[in-house]
Structure formats: C-alpha cells, structure tokens
Amino acid sequence: MDDGVVNMENKAGRMVFEPILEEGVFRFDCSGTDRAAAFPSLSFADPKVRETPLAVHGMIPEFVPVFECVHGQQKVQVQLPLGTSLYGTGEVSGPLERTGKRIFTWNTDAWGYGPGTTSLYQSHPWVLAVFPDGKSLGVLADTTRRCEIDLRENSTIKFVSAAVYPVITFGPFESPTRVLISLSHAIGTVFMPPKWSLGYHQCRWSYETDARVREVATNFLERGIPCDVIWMDIDYMHGFRCFTFDKERFPDPKALVNDLHAMGIKAIWMLDPGIKHEEGYFVYESGSKHNLWILKEDENLFVGDVWPGPCVFPDFTKKEARFWWANLVKDFVSNGVDGIWNDMNEPAIFKTVTKTMPESNIHRGDAELGGRQSHSHYHNVYGMLMARSTYEGMKMANEGKRPFVLTRAGFIGSQRYAATWTGDNLSNWEHLHMSVPMVIQLGLSGQPLSGPDIGGFAGNATPRLFGRWMGVGAMFPFCRGHSEAGTIDQEPWSFGKECEEICRLAILRRSRLIPHIYTLFYEAHANGTPIISPTFFADPKDQKLRKVENSFLLGSLLVCASTIPERGSHELSFTLPAGTWMRFDFDDSHPDLPILFLQGGSILPVGPTLQHLGQATRTDELSLFIALDKNGKAEGVLFEDDGDGYGYTQGAYLLTYYAAALSSSIVTVSISRTEGLWKRANRSLHVHVLLGGGAMVEGWGIDGEEVQITMPTESEVFNMASASEAQHRERMGKAKLLPDAAAISGNKGFELSKTPLEIKGRDWLLKVVPWIGGRMISMIHLPSATQWLHSRFEADGYEEYSGIEYRSAGCSEEYQVVGRNLEQSGEEEALTLEGDIGGGLVLQRSIFIPKDAPQILAICSRIIARNVGAGSGGFSRMVCLRVHPTFTLLHPAEVLVVFDSIDGTKHEIRPEAGEQTLEGDILPNGEWMLVDKCTGLGLVNRFDINQVNKCMIHWGSRTVNLELWSVERPVSVETPLEISHEYEVKEVNLY
C-alpha cells in the first residue's frame, strides 16, 4: 500500500512553479519529479485544473516559497512583506488575526474546545495574507494529510506535512475579496441554498418525541416568533440505527412532517456514518453484501464504538460506497425529509483517546481520489465525501429541489455540498465572542454558509447571554439555536418574557433581511464573493481595522455587537471604516441587540415586517433602505426566484439593479437594469432615505416605476437627526440589559469567599484567595517564620494552569470553595477548591495538612471531567496540568535548586543558569529542593514521578518558579489528570 510518504534524500531550495487556472495563480512543487508524484487534488472542484498549466509564457510569481524535505516531511515557507496581516486557516478558535498562532489540520471531535485548541472539526490548509497596502495573497497547501500551519513568525507562513504536496498561490491581487473570488474558481463556490434554509432553525439534542416537536412548533407559531426549521437529533432513530425511526417516539414521520409543513416549518434529520454492526439490520446487511466498509490494516473489518455500540463505517472513498449511501438517502427522503444533518463524521469513535479510528486503517479509494491509502491520507476528507454522497442522494430523490446538508466535519471545498456549524461550543461569553471570528474565518476560507450553536451547546446559558447571542446569531449566514441533553431548555421563550421579546425582535430582523441575505448567497454562488467578512474588507488599507472582532460586514451592512456581559452595544465605541455609515434599525433597538449601519452608496432590499419564509409570504410590499454617498448616489441589487429548484440556471430568476440619485433636493429611485425571465411581483415599494442618526425620510410607489422623494433642507436634516439621536439615547437609557444570573458551580453550596481563607497546622500557615483564581498567596513555615511563597495577589502565587498555549485558570478567574475541614473539629486541616475551565472540565485543588504528619503541606491538583458530553465519546479536549508556584527569594544570591535525576546524576542549578527545562532522564527523581544557604533551610518538594512529565525552573529578580507539568492528553470521567505533591522544610548543610 502506498501510504503517500516518499523516501527522499534531504533537500531544500526554491520551489519550481507553473501558472494554472487563471492569471495570478501558480502551482509550486519541490521539483518536477515531486509534481508528478503528488496525489490528486480533493480540494479543487475540477482536479484536472491543478494538473493543467496555462499555455502562457512570461507569467512570473511575485512570491516564491522555499522548501526543505527531511525525513518524509515537506516544510514550506512563504516570506511576505513586513506588516502583513494573516487570516484564514479555516475552522479555528481564537482571534481573527492569526499572526502568532499555530494549528494542525486534523479533523477532531473537539467537544468543549477553547481559544487555544489547535485542531477542530474541519481542515482548511489555507492562509489569506493582507499586505500593509491592502493587496492580498492566498496560499493553499493542497494536501489532505495532517498539516501544521505555523504563523508564529511575523509576516511568515509555514506549512509542514507529509511529502509530497503542491502549494498554490492566488495573487497578489488588489483586494482580499479578489483573492477569495480567485480561490472559488479553484475549489468551487457555495451550493445555492433553498431560501427556507436561511431562516431561523431550532434544534435540541434531542426533541425526544414527535409530540414534543409539535409542541415546540406550536409555541413558535402562537408566540409570533418566526421559525423555519426544526431539527431531529439521533433520538428519533430506533436504537441509533441510521435510516430507521423509533416506532414509539416517532411512529409516523410523514404525518409529523405534514403537520410541520402546515405550520410553515421544515424538518431536518440526522444521519451519522457509524452503522450498527448487527446481523439483520438492513443497512449493515446491504453494505456488507457489497464489501463497502473501512478495513483494518490486517484487512479485517474495522469495528468501532459510537452511539449504537459496535459500528462499521462506509468507505466513502469508493464510488460504489458513495452511490450506495446516496440511494439510502434517496429512499430516506421519501419520509418527508427536507434536509439532512451529517454529524460525527470526522469520523468520531468512542472509547479511544484519539477520538477517531486508527490511522493505519485501509481505504480502497478510487484512483481519481488517490487510490488505496491509509486512513491518515483520507481522514480529513472523510466528512466531505460523506456530505457529497448525502447531497447527491437528496438530489436523486427530487431533481426539482435543492438539497440542504449540514456537516460537522469537512475539508476546503466542502461548501460545494454542505453548510457547517462551529461544533460543540460552550454556553459562556468567551464562546459568544469567539463565534464572530470563527464564522468570519470560515468565510475567508471558502465556506460562507456557517454559524454557531446560538446560546451555546454545552452548559446553561443565562437570559442575557442567550439574548445577546440571538441578536448576533441572527446576523450570521446560518442561524440555529441548539443545546445539549442535560442542559436547561434553550428555546427563545425559555428565559422569561424580556428575553423572549429580544429573541423575537432579533429573529424578525433576520426575516426582514432575508431578501438581502438571499441575494448575497446568489452572488456568492455565482461569483465566489463572501457573505460575511471582517470589517476591514470595507477599507483593506486601514491598519486599525485589521483586528476588529466586535463588528462584521454582511454585504453592505455593518453589524456592531457587544460580547461584553456588563455593557450593551450602545455603550461601546465601535471603529467604523472610512466613508459614510448610516445607523438604522426597524424600530427595534435595544442594548442587547447589535447596532446596524448601512454603507453610504448602498441600497438595501428588505422584506415585509412579518415575513415567514416557510408560509405563504407577503409579496405586495418591498422596502428599500438607501444610504446616499457624498455624491448623492446609491445602488443595490435584489435576486429573486421561486426560492428552490434550479430554474434560476435556465433564466427563471429576476436580478434587479436599483439606483438612487439626488438632484435639486429630489431623490429619484429607479431600476437601472434587470436580468432574468422571472416576472416581477405586483407590489408596492416603500423607500426609506437615511439622513443620519437613525432619522429617515420615506416615500411610496410601485416596484418597477420611478419613485421620487423630496429631501428636507440641511437645517431640517440636522434637526431630524438630532431628534432621532436623542430618542435613541432615551430609548437605550430606559431599556435594561437582560439579567445575567450566573449558575453557581460546586456541589456543597459554599459561598465564594471575598476574604482570604487560612489553613493552619503545627508547622504551616497558608492564605488562599478563591476570588483571584484560587491562588495561595502566603506559605509561612511557622517554626522558622519564613515566608516561602510570593505574596502579590494580582499576578503571582501558587496556581494551576490548564492548556499549553493559553492560560485558563478558570474562565471567570474564580474558584468555588467546595470543601472545608478544620483542625479544631478534630479533622484534618483541609481546603478544596474548584474552578471551571470550560468544556465540562473543572480544575480542582485540595490543600491539606495531614494529621499524622503536621510538618507536611500536601496539595493534590486534578483536571476532572465533570461533564464532557457524550457527543465527544466521553473524552475532553487535549489538556495539560501545570502547577506553577512562585517562591520568594529572601537572599537571591545565596539560593539554588538541588536534586538527583532519574539517571542518578546530581544537579545544582543557580539563578545565573536561567530558565531550565528538565525532562527525560534528567527529570528530578520524585524530589527537588529550593535551598537558602543563608538560613540553612531547604524547601523540599516531593511529587509522584508517574504523574509529572517535565519540570521547569524560571528565575526572576527576587523569585523563582518551580513548575510541575503533566502529560498533555484528553481526560474522561474515569481518567482525570492529576499531580499530587507535598512540601516540607528541612535544615540543610550542603558543604
């Protein structure tokens, strides 16, 4: 079997190139031999394009990557102008601007991920570089294998993956938008979604019966909150068997769907790749008959545990398997299925630390995909190939309808078949904030149809968090509320009347904006333009916009939102791009809703107030919001068709280009041109010309005819804008933020102390402050009266960290006191604290003075999986426990650290040695000591050598950190991460 690793001599140099696709696009390989050896492209919509050089001479790239090939790894580096800003990298958490970050493209079930998680559910080995002058370059490492994207050096892009693979550059072009358009010519554009899929979606794991589904749908209808889709998670199935229905809970899916359709609501159903390994189950039997399953390295059937228990997995790299799956989907759709949700398709496997199948498994792939390869080669594209098969099956079921598929796992190019969401996020403010750059990054990486689980999937939202998230989420391309089993209900009415009203306003906003959003999708499908983009796209030369994360562009709309719990949108100062930006709303402004601005020179088409996409909608009214530029002009476009099917490809659409011009105090609104054969609706036209400050002047007419509006005088405009601003401030001042009553962690009901807690024994006196991260701030050895621990509250002390690249001592920097024993009551002096570090994990610290050894101070630190979510197979994200005490140096010139290492050698380390990392054979053999020669005392730190992976020594001016690090691994309920250690002061005499 060819595993894709080419044995080669070490080599390095400039990559060779040839122009492909179109002007400004180049393919780079390490050599001509490597070009011939590269695997077929799975990212390109037409793989042959990557293999076909343009018959044009004299085209020279401006930037040529350099490479180094060592031990089967191909390392590629692209050096860019100083001051370049880096974006893209696909589905990633963390900040919008990616300089300083490193990620790995390896599709991972990342339940409860954090800002420093390095691999999520999708892989996009792609970087968008924006130069200081606004020109932009795109760089794609066209490999399906695990790929390191290293952006830690300024203005430098590095890729590392198994050799060989080509690198494709797009540009430099005059703008980042032009780069994305060029990328779409290679990887394809987003599929044209059915119009109903752009409304609001409601989901839960799970609505467990059809009666509950009907109840939720009826609630939306009766409360006047638009809902266009309800989702069915895995509990609709019979024992989690795909393509089946539970006969008791969902006895008649067709009847359920008919009832939903009567309410204007579509139904989407989940399908996972794990097929129950069970004789007699028709899906297993048919797949086995045609030998369609993934195999182990020894050619036997691979069986892995997922929801149904032992499962087999279709080998979607085989044409026969894709066709078989598509036919199953075709039959499944006949039950009234409107859309399909592909989950767990990284593929996720339970009861394994890697969370996926062995990389040595075998795929018998088609030759045009790369042929027979190990799972390490096809892992990152497995989800995309499943989504492709699902999409094709839905299309086979009804050629007159557009498929709608949502996939969790994907690869660059997945947008041709499926939408995506940002995975199993958390119900906290950090994840609300992260959702903005995450959706933007997906759009900058070729996947414009995405959004987060509004309100957060894992954990319990508060009214303010949920309402604020709904306000922002209603502006994203994909808009779905979703929550995990075991959490509180998270429907719009679940948090009280105030929150319900905010959610109603937010979803009604989205309903009115559907004409604009649908037009953006048509343009994205036709041309590759982004749906949602970072604020700096309005002015790529403006450096101060490059890292803005609290606003984004939805076409010509600028959406400005607050993700700060204590402050509403109106209390923040947003950085607006250059030019004219007119604030407006639908008389629905509220501190918990985003502020909307329309770019000068734009016309925004808006639907009726109560438009509900799934029902018969009003067609007798269209609104245009107009923001004139400094020259008194504006233009906009509206795409219309029947909202489904493929008639638009044969001309059955209407593309209307509206224009507005100011002349002699008259604004004339007209149609400059049209495209398509779709008949214009007979409807009135409601025109709003924005004046600034939220003020506007209105006029009415008939769509298709000129409308003229007389503008007020300059003084009248000033007065109207001032009055509107005053009304807005008054309205915002009277409105109150939704309540944000945070859930109390801990299991014994202790209140969080605002006073340092003391632990006192015969030899020790400690002070611990829960409210600044659970830090120990004072460690006094009573017999010698020596304070060993640093006493600065705000920065140092004894603390734990979780994670490697980012600090996470608790999202709130608070620990809950969950246990307190006192020596006076005859018990061991002890204190137990817990801090929530996200993802269902808590960091627990127990501090105690043993009754039978009062000279000892003992500490046990653990990362515990309190609730990591069944969807993750019971394992958390990758975590590392780092014990990080900061000790005071009373005599800095007279201290040293002494220890015997595992290999038996003796070590003395003094401050002049600088930072030291101790691991492997030179790791201290379970004990090291900080010695103060002036006092003749040593602080001995003993630890379990089986729990500690490395030790670190970091000297400060009058401090030293003696750190203990665990291994980095996921944890489950049964496998916590733990470091137990103890301190004792001894008299020492080294000489």
Q: How confident is the model at residue 935, as a pLDDT?
A: 87
Least confident of 102-116, 150-164, 754-768: 754-768
Kindly state the average pLDDT of the residues 162-180: 97
Gap between the Cα atoms of 188 and 198, Å rounded: 21
CA distance 80 to 138: 11
Among candidate residues 625, 705, 622, 709, the one with its CA nearest the CA of residue 662: 709
The pLDDT value recorded for residue 284 is 98
Does position 806 have pLDDT exceeding 60, yes or no? no
Per-residue pLDDT, 625: 98
Q: Note whether 11-187 and 757-987 share their fold.
A: no
Q: What is the pLDDT of residue 823?
A: 45
Exposed (0-12), middle (13-18) or buried (19+): which is 718, by Cβ within 10 Å?
middle
pTM: predicted TM-score of the whole model, two decimal places = 0.85
Cα separations (Å) of 711 from 632, 662, 670, 689, 704?
Answer: 11, 9, 16, 9, 21
* CATH of 520-734 given 1.25.40.10, 3.90.660.10, 2.60.40.1180, 1.10.10.10: 2.60.40.1180
Is a pLDDT exceeding 70 seen at residue 349? Answer: yes
Does residue 825 register a pLDDT over 60? no
Residues 6+ apart with CB under 8 A from 906: 898, 899, 900
pLDDT greater at residue 163 or residue 329? 329
Which CATH number applies to 11-187?
2.60.40.1760
Rounded distance between C-alpha atoms, residue 79 and residue 785, angstroms:
57
Confidence of residue 746 (pLDDT cuts 50, 70, 90): very low
pLDDT band at 889 (very low <50, low <70, confident <90, very high): confident
Q: What is the C-alpha end-to-end distance of the chain, expressed in Å? A: 64
**Tokens at residue 475, please?**
């502006």
Q: How confident is the model at residue 396 (pLDDT cuts 50, 70, 90)?
A: very high
- The radius of gyration computed from the CA coordinates of the chain, to the nearest angstrom, equals 30
pLDDT band (50, 70, 90) for residue 824: very low
Query: Are the beta carbons of 402 and 192 closer than 8 angstroms?
Result: yes
> Domain segments of the chain: what residues?
11-187, 520-734, 757-987
Catalytic residue among 346, 484, 800, 984: 346
Rounded Cα distance, 561 and 558, in Å: 10
pLDDT of residue 957: 78
Give the pLDDT of residue 820: 65
**757-987: CATH number:** 2.70.98.10
Residues 6+ apart with CB under 8 A from 20: 26, 27, 49, 50, 52, 53, 54, 168
Query: Catalytic pick from 235, 343, 491, 982?
Result: 343
Name the band, by pLDDT with cuts 50, 70 and 90, for residue 352. confident
pLDDT for residue 816: 66
Name residue 971's amino acid.
V
Q: What is the pLDDT of residue 68?
A: 96
Burial (CB count <10 Å: 0-12, 13-18, 19+), residue 360? middle
Angle between helices 463-473 and 429-444 (to 10 degrees): 10
pLDDT at 767: 84
Mean pLDDT for 37-55 is 96
Q: Mean pLDDT, to the nearest integer, of 189-212?
A: 97
The strand order across the sheet containing 11-14 reads: 11-14, 66-70, 73-79, 156-162, 147-150, 102-105
Average pLDDT, stretch 831-856? 86
- pLDDT band with cut points at 50, 70 and 90 for residue 821: low
pLDDT at 773: 64
Each residue of 139-159: pLDDT tens digit?
999 999 999 999 999 999 999
895 Cβ contact partners less than 8 Å away, ≥ 6 residues apart: 889, 910, 911, 930, 931, 932, 933, 960
What average pLDDT does the chain have? 91
* Contact residues for 63 (Cβ-Cβ < 8 A; gap 6+): 78, 79, 80, 137, 169, 172
**Contact between residue 426 and residue 460 where contact means Cβ atoms under 8 Å apart:** no
| Active-site residue, from 210, 424, 800, 932 | 424
Judged by average pLDDT, the poorest of 62-71, 209-218, 338-347, 808-817 is 808-817
Q: What percent of the chain has pLDDT over 70?
A: 92
pLDDT at 655: 98
Question: What's residue 772's pLDDT?
Answer: 61
pLDDT above 90 as % of the chain = 77
Cα distances (angstroms) measured from residue 921 to each of 130, 219, 583, 729, 946:
46, 65, 65, 67, 13
Do the Cβ atoms of 694 and 585 come closer than 8 Å? yes
Residue 615 pLDDT more than 80? no
Active site residue 424: yes
pLDDT, tens only, 282-314: 999 999 999 999 999 999 999 999 999 999 999
Per-residue pLDDT band for 727 (boundaries 50, 70, 90) equals very high
